[in-house]
Structure 1
Amino acid sequence: MRVLIVNTSEKTGGAAVAANRLKDALNNSGVKAKMLVRDKLTDDITVVGLSHPLRNQFYFLWERWCVFWYSHFSRKHLFEIDIANAGVDITQLPEFKEADIIHLSWINQGMLSLKGIRKILDSGKPVVWTMHDIWPATGICHITLNCQRYQSYCGNCRLLPNGGSSHDLSYRVLHHKKEILKRGNISFVTCSKWLEKEARKSAILSNQLIQTIPNPIDTHVFRPSDKRQARVRTKLPLDKKVILFASQRIDNVNKGISYLIDACHKMVAENPEMRDEVVIAVLGGHGEGLQDMFDFKVYELGYVNDTRQIVDIYNATDVFVLPSLSENLPNTIMEAMACGVPCVGFKVGGIPEEIDHKKNGYVAEYRNADDLARGLHWVLEEADYAELSASAVGKVQRNYSQRSVAMQYIEVYNEAMALKSFHL
């Protein structure tokens, strides 16, 4: 079986990381898997980069320009909207022609257009689409933030100027997606049960095949190691308890660092002694100037893309916190747990599917900084830490290992090929 996984980037972003790990998991399980990307960053021979970089850059810029125009030249939601009006036709590529399964991943920002997806369906090849967010089920947004318009037919979009209109851009794009789905079957996969439930409410996916398979992780790479040695390598203090926060962009409001700041104020107010016992490690870009916002000393680690260094950072910490306002099934929580680090996050999206409350971490009430503080304090000061750590590792090994996830996807591929043969 030959599988072609299509994703905009090879390495940048959670979807890229998940797609890359799935590609490796499939190859380790006897499937010949390749990854087709616009942004190729390594010399991995199983990853194929698109040719004609200037053309690809034009597609990206043209779509952004159109979004900018529809937004009345406001940058406020410029990268929260995708309309897929420009992209590459991959159906003529040799990698496409030799594949038995076309597996779409995150294909936005000029990688594939809706017209291109229609051509893929018209080719007759079985298509599997992993939803890393809600975009395939909505008009133009990746995060609904409790908006339910996509469940009827979009329109009056909150991301458009003046709240859009009944037949605005979101309505028209959703209609276009609906017409495309009439042309062929797509087997949709969500990374969390939460996203599957949300996708089934969509006006255009209600009758589609949808199932949940989590992202995989290599537990031979992400695993516990000596904490003291990890702290020496990462230059984190040996005599403090370390809280880790990580995001590709620290200033991404959706990742909720403001709630962590408030939670830390709360902890210090109630437990003044913690000021000298705890530090904050921040992993990600655009995190400058955080020290003045925290009561604890802050170690700004910057953006890191070296896997071994990231594993060291996890192993050097005592608790990982992700107070996101919207999440699917975050890789960072999975990575931390695989390294034996208990996690704290809000009860939102797929986070409660990863963190078992008070068994391998703490699930705080949504947008509740006080409960987030209670969770951090509970992990650091009250719980049986060794038991939490062991439970975190066990959860990942049972549910998210490469072998387990690859077998589930192989079953989906076989079903998709059988369904295509039936319709022929």
Structure 2
Amino acid sequence: MKVLHLSTSDVDNGGARAAYRLHQGLQLLGCSSQMLVRAKFSHENTVIAEKSLLTKLAPPISSFPLRIYPQRNSAMFSPQWFPDVLERRVKQLNPDIINLHWVCNGYLQIETLPKFSKPLVWTLHDMWPFTGGCDYIRDCENFKESCGNCPQLLSRSPWDLSRWVWQRKHKSWKNVNLTVVATSSWMADCARSSSLFQHLRIETIPLGLDTEKYRLIDKQVARNLLNLPQDKQLVLFGAVNATSDRRKGFQLLLPALQQLSSSGWQDRLELVVFGSSTPEQSIDLGFNTHYLGFVHDDIALALIYAAADVAIVPSIQEAFGQTASESLSCGTPVVAFNTTGLKDIVDHKKNGYLATPFEIEDLAKGIVWVLEDVERHQKLQDSARETGLRDFASKIQARRYLTLYEEILGGSKPGRT
């Protein structure tokens, strides 16, 4: 079986790394797997970079329609109208099945999907595949009908850009042989309630990771290597654009930390942040803070998780939440809000704490609950590692995908899960 993964890139962000990890997991099982990407950052020879002129022009040109909405918010919105060369390239590679991942920012034109003439599996790393262009819906439910009046575009017209994108998807994908894979039960429910995907087969398969890389590492060793203090409890927060992307919840974490600082924890805790450089203007977080910048290397990330006593993932919406699963696999408990994809990862008071959405006081309470009792903290660490091995090992994920591919190619159509 030949599998081809389509992804805008391979290892430079969460969705890309997730696709790359699946690709590697399938290879470990003896499956012939390749990735076709626009931007290649790994040195893996089975990852192929598409370097045509159209591919290079797409990112700046694809956003042109958004100029109609100068007041729109900063959230990602992808019209995906610019032509691509992927039909020709995929035909040359001739896979048996195509697994789509994150293909926005001009990489894949909406109208290209039915041209592939191969069975398609789409792994949902965000909500773009079933919306009118946004990557996350926030509080909007227009995706359940036909989009329009898009709050992210600050549009009051039912016939806006989001309706145009939705209509193109609806028209182009009617007869596509497509199976959807959600990475969490929340994302699966959203896809089932969408007007575009409600009639499709939808499976749920959590994202995987290499549990030999994301593993237990001696805390003292990890802190020495990262030049972090040995005599403090370390609270970790990290994401791509960790302090600027509001969906990641830094604006909720900040007051929770300040509350802790004023309640007697100031001399006991320090904060570690990755995915963000030291800000030009200092932010009063209530604690001494170590900014580690942008980290893409798995070994470095594992060291960071291992150095921490607790990881905070205060996201408002997550398709899955790889930061949480990576942390657990390294034996570090996680505090998150009891919402979206994170509910499938964190087991309340067993490997972490799920705070009431989006209550700052309960978030602060969760951090204290994880850290205040040494014996309880050790049990949380043990349970965290067990969760990583049991639920998120890459071979487990790859086997589930391989079974799904075989069912699709063999014509099997079991019920949704």
TM-score by length of 1: 0.93
1:308 is matched with which residue?
299
2:230 is matched with which residue?
238
Name the amino acid aligned to 1:56.
T
2:392 is matched with which residue?
400
Name the amino acid aligned to 2:108.
L
Give the deviation of 1:284 after TM superposition: 1.0
- Summarize deviations over 1:356-395 as a string: whole Å, max 9, x none: 0000000011121100000000011036111101111111
Give the deviation of 1:244 after TM superposition: 0.4
Residue in structure 2 matching 1:201, options 176, 193, 205: 193
- Structure 1 contact 4–95 (Cα < 8 Å) conserved: no
2:110 is matched with which residue?
114
Name the amino acid aligned to 2:73.
H
Give the deviation of 1:94 after TM superposition: 6.0
Distance 2:300 2:125 in 1: 25
Distance 1:60 1:268 in 2: 43
Distance 2:167 2:48 in 1: 32
Residue in structure 2 matching 1:317, options 302, 308, 323: 308
1:224 is matched with which residue?
216
> For structure 1, which segment, 253-262 or 211-220, has the greater mean C-alpha deviation from structure 2 after superposition?
253-262
Distance 1:293 1:196 in 2: 39
Change (3 A) 1:89 1:218: same
- Summarize deviations over 1:385-416 as a string: whole Å, max 9, x none: 11101111111111111121111101111122
- Structure 2 contact 132–164 (Cα < 8 Å) conserved: yes
Distance 2:75 2:6 in 1: 20
Distance 1:343 1:170 in 2: 36
Distance 1:84 1:174 in 2: 11
> For structure 1, which segment, 373-382 or 301-310, has the greater mean C-alpha deviation from structure 2 after superposition?
301-310
Counting matched residue pairs gives 411
1:101 is matched with which residue?
97
Q: Gapped runs of 5+ residues in structure 1? A: none
1:81 is matched with which residue?
77
Change (3 A) 1:91 1:372: same
- Structure 2 contact 75–134 (Cα < 8 Å) conserved: no
TM-score by length of 2: 0.95
Change (3 A) 1:235 1:87: farther
Name the amino acid aligned to 2:95.
A
- Structure 2 contact 75–152 (Cα < 8 Å) conserved: no
2:63 is matched with which residue?
64
> For structure 1, which segment, 274-283 or 55-64, has the greater mean C-alpha deviation from structure 2 after superposition?
55-64
Change (3 A) 1:200 1:247: same
- Summarize deviations over 1:249-278 as a string: whole Å, max 9, x none: 0211111112111111211222x2x21111
Distance 2:115 2:412 in 1: 16
Give the deviation of 1:420 after TM superposition: 9.1
Give the deviation of 1:173 after TM superposition: 1.4
Give the deviation of 1:95 after TM superposition: 6.8
1:2 is matched with which residue?
2
Secondary structure of the structure 2 residue equivalent to 1:373: helix
Query: Are 2:273 and 1:277 equivalent residues in the alignment?
Result: no
- Structure 1 contact 217–401 (Cα < 8 Å) conserved: yes
Once superposed, which parts of structure 1, at least 4 consecutive aligned residues long, lie more than 3 Å away? 76-79, 94-97, 289-292
- Summarize deviations over 1:156-214 as a string: whole Å, max 9, x none: 111224x2312222112112111222122200001001000011001121111111001
> For structure 1, which segment, 226-235 or 176-185, has the greater mean C-alpha deviation from structure 2 after superposition?
176-185
Q: Gapped runs of 5+ residues in structure 2? A: none
Report 1:34-45 matches (<5 A): 34-45=34-45
- Structure 1 contact 290–298 (Cα < 8 Å) conserved: no
- Structure 1 contact 192–213 (Cα < 8 Å) conserved: yes
Distance 1:57 1:285 in 2: 27
